[in-house]
Structure 1
Amino acid sequence: MIIISILFFDAKHIPPFPNCYTLVPTLGATLIILFGQKTLVGQLLSQRLLRWIGLISYSAYLWHQPLIIFIHLRYHNIPQILLMLIVVCIVLALSCISYTFIEQPFRNKKRFSRKHIFFASGVSAIITLILALFLIQTATNRTLLLNKENDSYLSDLIKNGNYQYVQRAFKALREEKNTFSNRTSTTNKRLMLIGDSFAHDFYNIINEGKHLVNYDILVHFVDVHCQIYLGSEDRQQFIEAEYRQTCANDYDIKYALPHIHQADVIILSSYWRKWAAERLPMTLKLLNLTKQQQIFVIGLKNFGTINPRLYVNKSTQYRFKQYQYPNIDVIEINRLLERTIDRSIFINIQKMICTRYNQTCPLFTRDGKLITYDGMDLTKFGAIYVGNIIFNRKPLNKL
């Protein structure tokens, strides 16, 4: 069970620790302790080298996590394999030192009585607390801006970090044109973008990054509560009661079908609910696209819970180091989409952006610009940042 955990439990495919998967190696270790003494595993673990590792294991346990965090923060671009090798080497050295000069002496009752140990522990705790408070204050001071007048964080947030910004360009285009230009059928390609606020984001990505400049773009809005769906089932049964009347009117992909059949490229971008994601293969089939038409499905994205006010008056270096865990439900739905639709048409933005340990996501660009103001929708700088990633990778780099 321990070997299975090492070989198959990849941080990219299981929820962040702690989780239920932790029980597997724990149960394996318990079985070894209870029944492994006379087995081959027990004999193997009785070897001198492994017994020595066992002796220093508690020290190693105490050292490894602070070291991983320190190296991650200090050297954020270091490859994962190299990081592990460095941590293992340093942990082994520190564990030997702490075991030899701290653990063993304190276990010697002739050297230290219980009273001495409690006294030393109390003094150490007080010193540690004072040192921790000092370091926290020092770290806080380092995160503050030296020149607040030149920081555009708040003004950027007001102008380009809210829902008004997110929907502005998409809404303007939607009101401005409802048909493709007649001349684009022979000159430029036609692109149909369909979806909710994630489609707003995608249009901002195109717009801010100057991508697809030779495309004639038309947009169609489908509210997140209504979802993109075609099929024989009545979608009203999947929609919350308070939104059924709204979804019975305009927010339906079927109203976009005439323009879809005129488009060269169709992009579906939505905050996919599970029921719509499960039925997406049928929806794609019922679009009845020709072999010449291209379609792409944009997956969900989530950066965790964001409070933009926490980063006011913080330094660019501090902001750049902020990473968060995404919502696990978003990861699961993206996996569902990867399993059920052709991978050549699926763009997993989440996987492209959130590439750090345990799929953690950056909150800021290298320039200290906020990527998302609510954990889902992108700011102007977030749109540029994400666009530079997804349009330089397959399959969108071919458009």
Structure 2
Amino acid sequence: MFRKAAGLLASMVVWSMSTAMAAETSLKQNLMTAADTKASGEYAFSQCRALTGQTFDTTKSTKKALIVGDSYACDFLNSMQENGYLRDYQIALRFIPYDCQTVAGDAAPKYIAAKDRSLCATPERADSLERAKAQMQEADVVIFASRWKPEIAAALPQTLHTLGLQPRQRVVVVGSKFFGKISVRQYLRMPANDLKKLENEVDPSEAKAINAVLAKGLGKEVLFVDPHNLVCGDDTSCPLFTDDVNLISYDGRHLTKEGARYMGKVLFQHSALGQM
């Protein structure tokens, strides 16, 4: 009887160890997959490319949402789609690269560096607020999401005024985010419980300070959503992993698939986005 009990206990210990090892192996594999910048980069931009230049079917009564911005707009799109948010809307995207961010009006060219003006003037490679303006007028919801440059963030209230969006339209501005340097080799040596609690100190000028400018300057008629505040709190350190130990960002700025799913839930469940 004792031998049977001892054998059963030994089997349970072996099973438990095997299960733990399998879980650890799965965690490491998922981490390496998520940290693959080529694969995660393809994910980050694939849906963005598919919707860039998409037109609205104005014969349908379906509500229309237009997303305007750079690669952070692609992140927002993925965060939305991973969770099925705004699935009842027609969705289109106007991609304005980070280097081509500008304000609306005659002063726009001075906000683009001389080295980038050829790129930004080529419609096949870069959109602009001026070219997107007509489609903005068709949308029920216009969502601006970018890795905001300080000068563009400061000028955004005047830019929105110049664009002439109507009171009937819902205007959303999604602030910036930053998760700091990603160090995969370090994470691979750490147990899951430590990864759950792991945070990076981040430069406050990357997101926190810029979002403060946006929050102060935008009026009540604009819905401002602050990813830094919602994910990191009123702090200069940000989590790197979800509660189920998935890497949020593969390069410190852009989201993995699991990171997009996580971010979407945070943005829509903890802000007025969830009421749309």
Fold match by TM threshold 0.5: yes
Write the distance in 1 (CA, Å) between the matches of 2:150 and 2:31. 36
Q: Do the aligned residues in 2 keep the contact of 1:351 with 1:359 (CA within 8 Å)?
A: no
Structure 2 match to 1:194 = 68
TM-fit CA distance, 1:336: 1.0
Establish whether residue 230 from structure 1 lines up as the match of residue 230 from structure 2. Answer: no
Structure 2 match to 1:398 = 275
Q: Do the aligned residues in 1 keep the contact of 2:204 with 2:236 (CA within 8 Å)?
A: no
Structure 2 match to 1:383 = 260
Partner of 1:146, secondary structure, is helix
Name the amino acid aligned to 1:222: I
Q: Tell me the alpha carbon deviations over residues 243-277 of structure 1, each in whole angstroms, 9 at most, x when there is no partner.
A: 11111232311111111110000000111111111
Alignment gaps of 5+ in structure 2: 1-19
Establish whether residue 368 from structure 1 lines up as the match of residue 245 from structure 2. Answer: yes
Write the distance in 2 (CA, Å) between the matches of 1:242 and 1:375. 26
Structure 2 match to 1:295 = 171
Say if 1:351 and 1:373 are closer, same or farther in 2 by CA, change over 3 A.
Answer: same
Q: Do the aligned residues in 2 keep the contact of 1:230 with 1:283 (CA within 8 Å)?
A: yes
TM-score (norm 2): 0.84
Name the amino acid aligned to 2:145: S
Name the amino acid aligned to 1:244: R
Write the distance in 2 (CA, Å) between the matches of 1:351 and 1:149. 33
Higher relative contact order (CA 8 A, sep 6+): 2
Write the distance in 2 (CA, Å) between the matches of 1:216 and 1:280. 25
Q: Do the aligned residues in 2 keep the contact of 1:307 with 1:374 (CA within 8 Å)?
A: no
TM-fit CA distance, 1:242: 1.7
Alignment of 1:261-280 (within 5 A): 261-280=137-156
Say if 1:161 and 1:302 are closer, same or farther in 2 by CA, change over 3 A.
Answer: farther
Establish whether residue 354 from structure 1 lines up as the match of residue 232 from structure 2. Answer: yes
Equivalent position to 1:219, from 73, 93, 102: 93
Q: Do the aligned residues in 1 keep the contact of 2:200 with 2:239 (CA within 8 Å)?
A: yes
Say if 1:228 and 1:240 are closer, same or farther in 2 by CA, change over 3 A.
Answer: closer
Name the amino acid aligned to 1:236: P
TM-score (norm 1): 0.59
Q: Do the aligned residues in 2 keep the contact of 1:308 with 1:373 (CA within 8 Å)?
A: no
> Which stretches of structure 1, 4 residues or more, deviate above 3 A after TM superposition?
145-149, 156-161
Structure 2 match to 1:256 = 132
Partner of 2:269, secondary structure, is coil
Say if 1:337 and 1:254 are closer, same or farther in 2 by CA, change over 3 A.
Answer: same
TM-fit CA distance, 1:280: 0.7
Q: Do the aligned residues in 2 keep the contact of 1:320 with 1:366 (CA within 8 Å)?
A: yes
Say if 1:161 and 1:346 are closer, same or farther in 2 by CA, change over 3 A.
Answer: farther
Q: Tell me the alpha carbon deviations over residues 168-223 of structure 1, each in whole angstroms, 9 at most, x when there is no partner.
A: 1111222xx63112343x2x210000110000000001111111110100111001
More helix by share: 1
Structure 1 match to 2:213 = 336
Partner of 2:99, secondary structure, is coil
Equivalent position to 2:114, from 231, 234, 241: 241
Name the amino acid aligned to 2:182: I
Alignment gaps of 5+ in structure 1: 1-144
More strand by share: 2
Q: Tell me the alpha carbon deviations over residues 21-75 of structure 1, each in whole angstroms, 9 at most, x when there is no partner.
A: xxxxxxxxxxxxxxxxxxxxxxxxxxxxxxxxxxxxxxxxxxxxxxxxxxxxxxx
Q: Tell me the alpha carbon deviations over residues 272-302 of structure 1, each in whole angstroms, 9 at most, x when there is no partner.
A: 1111112111110012112110110110101
Name the amino acid aligned to 2:63: K
Equivalent position to 2:181, from 277, 289, 305: 305
Q: Do the aligned residues in 2 keep the contact of 1:229 with 1:276 (CA within 8 Å)?
A: yes
Write the distance in 2 (CA, Å) between the matches of 1:323 and 1:160. 24
Structure 1 match to 2:21 = 146
Partner of 2:94, secondary structure, is strand
Alignment of 1:36-51 (within 5 A): none
Alignment of 1:116-195 (within 5 A): 146-147=21-22, 148-151=24-27, 152-158=30-36, 162-174=40-52, 178-184=54-60, 186=61, 188-195=62-69
TM-fit CA distance, 1:241: 2.4
Q: Do the aligned residues in 2 keep the contact of 1:193 with 1:268 (CA within 8 Å)?
A: yes
TM-fit CA distance, 1:310: 2.2
